[in-house]
């Protein structure tokens, strides 16, 4: 879907550029056309994100209707979602299903300027699935996929320090072939 959007925008760009180069009066319309194309593309991405959330929610609802219950809902949520490389902030989130069922998940992304930006993206998806959540803390990670190394450290100013040992256990399950997944409670 994203590739299709880029192709459409590129084709529009080429067509507009060709038209503008042959028609001097159209040059003043060029910025408006570019702005429309960009806005259209961003709307497509938002719809894609919404469609993915809806499909995921439908999948979880189906599992629940088939008798999977709270355990199936929580099992459908990936334990770890982090960027493949770089130094970035992460948070440890506890997800609560109906009853006493809960699960911890790790989320870390380089695009997040603050730890609460990550939670701001994750919480609405969990809310749609009727899963209560709370941030247990945060920190930073250095992920070097080529060297198969991850190092977890530091803390979140807003959420406090996560239990890095829980995070490392989740990471070791997600990346069993990594040579080094470590943590310390030092640094920011």
- pLDDT tier for residue 9 given thresholds of 50, 70 and 90: low
Whether residue 147 is predicted with pLDDT greater than 90 in this model: the reply is yes
User: What is the model's pLDDT at position 185?
Assistant: 85
Residues annotated as catalytic are 115
What is the pTM for the complete model shown? 0.64
Order of strands across the sheet that contains 149-153: 80-82, 102-109, 85-96, 132-144, 149-153, 180-183
Mean pLDDT of the chain: 77
Please, what sign has the CA dihedral across residues 97, 128, 105, 115?
Answer: negative
- pLDDT tier for residue 22 given thresholds of 50, 70 and 90: low
Q: What is the CA radius of gyration of the chain?
A: 21
Binding residue per annotation — 89?
A: yes
Nearest to 104 by CA among 130, 81, 127, 120: 81
User: What is the model's pLDDT at position 99?
Assistant: 78
DSSP letter string, the chain: -HHHHHHHHHHHHHHHHHHHHH-GGGGGGHHHHHHHHHHHHHHHHHHHHHHHHHHHHHHHHHHHHTT-HHHHHHHTS-SEEE-SEEEEEEEEEEEE-STT-EEEEEEEETT-SSHHHHHHHHHHHHHHTT-EEEEEEEEEEEEETTTTEEEEE--BTTTBB--HHHHHHHHHHH-TT-SEEEE-S---
Give the pLDDT confidence of 98-146 residue by residue, as tens digits. Answer: 778 899 999 999 999 999 999 999 999 999 988 999 999 999 999 999 9
Q: What is the mean pLDDT of residues 66-80?
A: 78
Q: Is pLDDT larger for residue 162 or for residue 14? A: 162
What is the spatial distance between Cα 8 and Cα 77, in angstroms, rounded to a whole number?
33
Whether residue 26 is predicted with pLDDT greater than 60 in this model: the reply is no
Partners of 181 in beta bridges: 150
Q: At what angle do helices 2-22 and 30-65 cross, to 10 degrees?
A: 170
Q: At what angle do helices 30-65 and 115-128 cross, to 10 degrees?
A: 50
User: What is the model's pLDDT at position 73?
Assistant: 82
């Amino acid at each position: 879907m994203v590739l299709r959007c880029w192709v459409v925008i590129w084709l529009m760009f080429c067509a507009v550029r060709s038209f503008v180069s042959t028609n001097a009066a159209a040059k003043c319309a060029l910025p408006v056309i570019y702005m429309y194309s960009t806005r259209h593309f961003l709307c497509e991405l938002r719809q894609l994100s919404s469609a993915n959330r809806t499909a995921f929610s439908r999948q979880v609802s189906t599992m629940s209707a088939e008798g999977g219950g709270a355990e199936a809902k929580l099992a459908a949520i990936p334990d770890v979602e982090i960027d493949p490389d770089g130094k970035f902030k992460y948070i440890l989130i506890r997800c609560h299903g109906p009853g006493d069922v809960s699960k911890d998940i790790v989320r870390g992304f380089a695009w997040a300027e603050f730890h609460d930006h990550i939670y701001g993206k994750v919480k609405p998806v969990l809310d749609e699935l009727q899963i209560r959540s709370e941030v247990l803390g945060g920190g930073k990670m250095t992920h070097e996929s080529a060297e198969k190394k991850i190092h977890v450290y530091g803390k979140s100013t807003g959420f406090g320090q996560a239990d890095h040992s829980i995070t490392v256990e989740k990471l070791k399950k997600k990346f069993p072939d990594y040579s080094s997944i470590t943590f310390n409670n030092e640094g920011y």
